[in-house]
Every structure is written in C-alpha cells, then in structure tokens.
Amino acid sequence: MSENTKVAVVTGAARGIGAATAVRLGREGFAVAVCDLDEAACAATVQAVEKEGARALAVGVDVSDSERVEAAVERIAAELGPPVVLVNNAGILRDNLLFKMSDDDWDAVISVHLRGAFLMTRAVQAHMTKAGWGRIVNLSSTSALGNRGQVNYSAAKAGLQGFTKTLAIELGKFGVTANAIAPGFIATEMTAATAARVGVDFEAFKTAAAEQIPVRRVGTPEDIAGTVAFLVSEDAGFVSGQVVYVAGGPKA
Ligand code: NAP
C-alpha cells in the first residue's frame, strides 16, 4: 500500500449507486470509506472493494446527524487516512403529492440529501483544504427539473445543484473541485421500491422507462460510478461547479 494512496468517502455505499461507486474507486486506486446507516450492511461492499486490491473501511453513520458525521470523519482520518474525495450519495424517497405530503416526509428527505451533504462536506473539507487537493461529487437527479409526487426530493436535488456551485466557488482556490451528477432512471432498490409502491412489476417498469430514454435502456449503478471516476480524476481538475446529467439523453 503506497503512502500516497488517496482516501475516498462514499455515503449510502451499502448498496446501489454508492456500492458500485465504492468498488470503482477501489479499482482506481483509492482507499474507500464505505459509509451507510448500518455498519454491518457495508460488509459486502467492503469485501468487493478489497477484491479490487484496495483498502476499505465500513463506517456506520447517519449523514443527517452532526455529531455522528464529525465522529465518522475523525475515525476515517485515523484508520484510513485523511479523506480527499467525498461522494455525497446517501438518499431516501418519501414520495407523495403535495396535498398528501406530511411534515415528516418533507423533513426526512431534505435532512438526508441536503443537510447530510452539508454536514459531510463541512467535515471532510478540512482535510481537502489542508492537502491542497480535493474532489466532491454530489448526487443530484433529473427530478431536480421537477417530478410529480416529489416536491421534497426535487427541492433537495435542485438544492444540491446550488450547493455544488457554491462549493466550487469557495473551495477552488484550495485545489478542490465540486460537481454534481444528475442521474436519470437507474435500476437499484430505490427504483424497485418505486415500482412496488405504484404496483408495477419491476421488469415491466424498467421496460416502460427504457422506451422513454433516447439510448433505449435504463441506467446501471456502474454508469454513475464511471462518471464519478472521471470527476474525481486528475483529468477533471478544470471541471468544477458543473451538473452532469447521466440519463441516456439530454435532460437539462
Ligand atoms: P438506494 O439503493 O436506496 O441506496 C441508498 C443508500 O443510502 C441505502 O443504503 C440507504 O441505507 C442509505 N441511506 C439512507 N439514508 C441514509 C442516511 N441518513 N445516512 C447514511 N446512509 C443513508 O439508492 P440509489 O438508487 O443507489 O441512489 C443513490 C443516490 O442516487 C441517491 O441520492 C438518489 O437520490 C440518487 N439518484 C438515484 C436515482 C435512481 O434512479 N436510482 C436517480 C437519480 C438520483 P438504508 O438501506 O439503511 O436506508
């Protein structure tokens, strides 16, 4: 293990896009902190990262909890090394039409996506600015452009775009870039749960979605992981404050 190995933090990495991203970053030579609500649930991702020949650490953390975020980042710095890459990916859905949306549905979604990204970024940026190098990637969504039944989620995902642009402006002089990825339909447990909620078989749901997508397929977690790999690379050092729509077509 080289002393120059960079440390990456991926939240919501027990499964889905976060897990694929953690594995891809391991392949790219990063040591990876695999963060999720339940530390035990991170075991499979940790193993998959280690299979790529990289170090990995399972970290249980609720990204919306300030004290736990501070403790998690301290532990990552002590056990893996100071983190210089952060992928804010943890997310939840609480879909409902506006007139049926509860206070809790609103607060929970804003709290995990927006407050979570804020708390994680505030904690990790200290290590990035000290190192004079850093990469932040925030998971937005095509829902930022508006999506029926998602006033909470679309507000959070649009908010993350503004958050990203301001990070780019504030942190650029420290060698830190910040970008957002706005995925379209990606086949994960999140979209499977949406299909179940509306009572449609997941395969039929994906087929119907693919018909509306110019490249005629739904996305995979690896599609997003590949875009993250570029945005955290040296090659992307002059790309900052951007929102990359990874949606199989022009969504913005
Ligand atoms: P997923 O399969 O539901 O995975 C999300 C992960 O985040 C889960 O492991 C979840 O843990 C974790 N998580 C939830 N709340 C957390 C918290 N407070 N602290 C730490 N971890 C938490 O979702 P995904 O489809 O991979 O989506 C990943 C990201 O991409 C999300 O931000 C999502 O909004 C965004 N995105 C997804 C799509 C899509 O089509 N799938 C499209 C656009 C954007 P638990 O299992 O314990 O809840």
Please compute, for residue 243, the number of CA atoms within 13 A of its CA located in the half-sphere on the CB side.
25
Q: Exposed, middle or buried, 24 (CB in 10 Å: 0-12/13-18/19+)?
A: buried
Query: Do 151 and 33 fall within a single domain?
Result: yes
User: Rounded to the nearest 5°, which phi and psi values hold at 136?
Assistant: -120, 130
**pLDDT value at 2 more than 80:** no
- Together in a domain, 120 and 226: yes
Q: What is the mean pLDDT of residues 115-139?
A: 98
> Is residue 214 domain-shared with residue 231, that is, in the same domain?
no
**Is 251 inside a domain boundary?**
no
Identify the band that residue 251 occupies on the pLDDT scale cut at 50, 70 and 90: confident
Unique residue bearing structure tokens 């403790």: 71
Substitution candidate for ligand 1 out of 36, 45, 65, 154 with most atoms within 8 A of CB:
36
179 and 189 share one domain = no
**Does residue 2 lie in a domain region?**
no
Same domain? For 208 and 169 the reply is: no
Provide, rounded to the nearest whole percent, the portion of the chain with pLDDT above 70.
Answer: 98
- 116 domain-assigned: yes
Quote the ligand 1 centre to 12 CA distance (angstroms). 6
pLDDT at 4: 79
Q: Is residue 26 located within the same domain as residue 149? A: yes
- State the pLDDT at residue 132: 98
Q: Which atom of ligand 1 is nearest to the CA of 140?
A: 44
Distance from C-alpha of 224 to C-alpha of 17, rounded to nearest angstrom: 7
Asked if the structure places residue 252 within a domain, the reply is no
Residues 185 and 220: their CA atoms lie apart, in Å, by 8
| Pair 36, 13: CB distance under 8 Å | yes
Options 30, 106, 118, 153, the catalytic residue: 153
Q: How far is the CA of 139 from the centre of ligand 1 (A)?
A: 9
Gyration radius (Cα) of the chain, Å: 17
CATH number of the domain where residue 93 is located: 3.40.50.720
What value does the mean pLDDT of the chain take? 97
State the average pLDDT over residues 188-199.
Answer: 96
Residues 99 and 189 in one domain: no
Q: Ligand 1: which residues within 6 Å by Cβ?
A: 11-12, 14-18, 36-38, 62-64, 89-92, 112, 116, 139, 141, 183, 185-186, 188-191
Size of the chain, expressed as the number of residues it contains = 252
Mean pLDDT of 153-175: 98
The yes-or-no answer on residue 245 being catalytic is: no
pLDDT at 75 over 60: yes
Residue 249 domain-assigned (yes or no): no
108 C-alpha vs ligand 1 centroid, how far in Å? Answer: 13
Verify that 77 and 110 share a domain, yes or no. Answer: yes
Pick from 23, 110, 188, 243 the residue to mutate for probing ligand 1's pocket: most ligand atoms within 8 Å of its CB: 188
> Is the pLDDT at 1 greater than 70, yes or no?
no
Whether residue 180 is found in the same domain as residue 208: no
Q: Given a cut of 80, is residue 59 above it in pLDDT?
A: yes
CA of 89 from ligand 1 middle (Å) equals 6
Do 55 and 45 share a structural domain? yes
143 in a structural domain: yes
Residue 250 within a domain: no
Q: What is the pTM of this model?
A: 0.98
Query: Considering its fold, how many domains does the chain have in total?
Result: 2
Q: Which domain holds residue 173?
A: 7-184+221-243
Mean pLDDT of the 195-202 span: 96
In a domain, residue 1? The reply is: no
CA separation for the pair 250, 252 (Å, rounded):
6
